[in-house]
Amino acid sequence: MERLQKILAQAGVASRRKCEELILAGKVQVNGETVTVLGTKADPSVDSITVEGRNIGAEKKVYLLLNKPKGVITSATDPQGRKIVTDYLKGVRERVYPVGRLDYDTEGLLLLTNDGDFAHLLTHPKHHVPKTYLATVKGVPHGTDLDKLKKGIMLDDGMTHPAEVEYHDVDPDNKEATIMITIHEGRNRQVRRMFEAIGHPVQRLKRIAFGDLYLGTMKRGLFRHLTKAEIEGLKQSAKTAEKRSKR
């Protein structure tokens, strides 16, 4: 017997947190009975479990890396009919979900999977898996401005963790600079808000790394399957980041 949200996550329905929301919303049935209590246990080898009328079952685990284009919603569905990341996954039969989010106006490395435990491991706040971006900002920040980001900067939802920041490129003709920044949190629009706080709003933003996994030269809109070594590397990144956060 396992908790229902864990069974759903392991079956690739969604992340564990999202599965809890599905249960609370009355969208999960066990043996024909709607379950709305978190912590309810079931046996997937014996019980009939459905989500929105669809039977769940053992599904092949899939781990994908997509180079998300700008102007695409990081979601498996969108009521407004806008372009979503799963539109780019031609040939993928499994029902996968994004691991974390990238803003509509942000491009770059996005992970998708149907392994709820894997997604939970990489997105749980206690793990602080590092994520690296190239941020092209208005103007050229002074070194003292970047030092503020390195030490941590106060936002409206609290102080950020220290970031790793360095100049990547400077374009004096267009009066802009591209900064490489690595953060260890996942707040909403965090990188954009950090640069706004030092007076250099972001004009273009691209995620180039998640843990030790790099985007490389993959073209926008394309995806590939992760290797076993990359999957294990991401898991190790989460474990290493958790140990670092406890120091």
Give the CATH number for residue 89.
Answer: 3.30.70.580
Task: Please compute the mean of the pLDDT values over residues 114-120 and round it to a whole number.
Answer: 87
Q: How far is CA 227 from CA 65, 95, 196, 222, 239, in A?
A: 10, 19, 37, 16, 19
Residues 81, 200 within the same domain: no
**pTM of the entire structure?**
0.77
Answer yes or no: do 67 and 106 share one domain. Answer: yes
Q: Burial code of 40-74, b = ≥16 C-beta within 10 A, e = fewer?
A: bebebeeeebebeeeebeebebbbbbbbbbeebbb
Give the pLDDT of residue 91.
92
| 145 carries an active-site annotation | no
Point out the catalytic residue in the list 78, 103, 117, 173: 103
The pLDDT of residue 142 is above 90: yes
Q: Which residues are CB-neighbours of 109 under 8 A, at least 6 positions away?
A: 65, 66, 67, 68, 207, 208, 209, 210, 213, 214, 215
- For the domain that residue 135 is a member of, what is the CATH number? 3.30.70.1560
Judge if 144 and 194 occupy the same domain. Answer: yes
Which residue range forms the structural domain that includes residue 73? 63-125+213-245
What's the pLDDT tens digit per position in 4-38?
998 888 787 888 889 999 999 999 999 999 999 99
